Amino acid sequence: MKDRRAFLLAGLCAAPGLGLAQAPLRRVACFHCGGTRLGPALGAMGWRLGQDLRIEPRSLGDSPAQGAIDAAAREVVATAPDVVVTFMREQVGAVVRATRTIPVVAALHDPVADGFARTLARPGGNVTGIAFSSPESVKMTFRILGQALPALRRLHTLEPPGWSELATVKGVRSEIAAKRGLAFEPHPVADLAQATRVLESIRNPREEALVFAVAMRGFDYAAFAPKVLRSRVAMVDMSGQLEEASLLGAGMRHPDMWGRLAAIVDQVLRGTNPAGIPFELPTHAVVTLNRRVAATIGVTFPPEVLLRATRLID
């Protein structure tokens, strides 16, 4: 009889819905992405931080070398989290080299060109998330730039070494170049010195402009901004890091990036395979016009350009 009572008590303790069994703790590793806004966003979706969900941040410090990123990624993967959340190609690549099975939710410029997804609609691997490439942002940016600088003939683009754009973005850029007679000259730059050399090579600011194409890890934006202002060269900032020195800031944005990342993490934690979760594309165009820079370099924004602005800097 005693053995039977012990058996029944054990069964009651294990039975769901009786308050004695706990849901398994799910773990989300934030690999050099902060995560302070991820927890509350997941909390709003029903996850209880510290009870059935734990956010585990892993910082990399300031501008680590790729070898250090790879080593840190291996350490994170060795803890076997349920999901890894991270940003940027270098960090996503390090995690993917360490695991092809743990789901990775990432924010990337172009996951297809970077080799992390077969297509945006069906990634096909263990990486999904949100993307930032958009043909619409390219069309919008260079239409506005052409209206503001009608004599423009050459665009120097600063981009990280090995950086690639979505094929459709390249096609739009080629179409714009052919229609407007613009020449695009890409410059792979890894640091401030290389970017400065490109800036100093511009001889005719009326016919040439600079495009900072994407945010770069470890780049000294604070030192580059005054160099641009002194050069009186018009700059388009698509990185979101140089608006104080740029004539024009433009691009596509996710208005609630952390909320969207959390929604994708929620899907993965509830059992959806990341291979079939589409990368989300941005929906909001952002145009920042800097009238202070325009006055400095002698540019006047026509009314049709001002009407497109979502933000003015005076």
3 state SS for the chain:
CHHHHHHHHHHHHHCCCCCCCCCCCEEEEEECCCCCCHHHHHHCCCCCECCCEEEEEECCCCCCCHHHHHHHHHHHHHCCCCEEEEECHHHHHHHHHHCCCCCEEEEECCCCCCCCCCCCCCCCCCEEEEECCCHHHHHHHHHHHHHHCCCCCEEEEEECCCCCCCHHHHHHHHHHHHHHCCEEEEEECCCHHHHHHHHHHCCCCCCEEEEECCCCCCCCHHHHHHHHHHHCCEEEECCCCCHHHCCEEEEEECCCHHHHHHHHHHHHHCCCCHHHCCCECCCEEEEEEEHHHHHHHCCCCCHHHHCCCCEEEC
Instruction: Please name the amino acid found at residue 98.
Output: A
Burial of 305 (0-12, 13-18, 19+ CB in 10 A): buried
pLDDT at residue 22, as a whole number? 61
Q: 103: closest CA among 176, 184, 27, 204?
A: 27
0.85 exceeded by the pTM?
no
| Fold category of 23-132+255-276 in CATH | Rossmann fold (3.40.50)
pLDDT at residue 1, as a whole number? 47
Instruction: Please name the amino acid found at residue 181.
Output: G
Burial of 71 (0-12, 13-18, 19+ CB in 10 A): middle
pLDDT at residue 167, as a whole number? 58
Q: Tens of pLDDT along the chain (314 residues)?
A: 444 444 444 444 444 444 445 678 999 999 988 777 899 999 999 999 999 999 999 988 765 788 999 999 999 999 999 999 998 888 999 999 999 999 999 998 888 878 899 999 999 999 999 998 666 777 777 888 888 888 999 989 898 887 665 555 667 777 777 777 888 888 999 899 999 999 999 988 889 999 998 778 789 999 999 999 999 999 999 878 898 999 998 777 777 889 999 999 999 999 999 999 999 988 777 889 999 999 999 999 999 889 888 889 98
Where do the domains of the chain lie? 23-132+255-276, 135-253+284-313
Kindly report the CATH number that applies to the domain delimited by 135-253+284-313: 3.40.50.2300
pLDDT at residue 170, as a whole number? 67
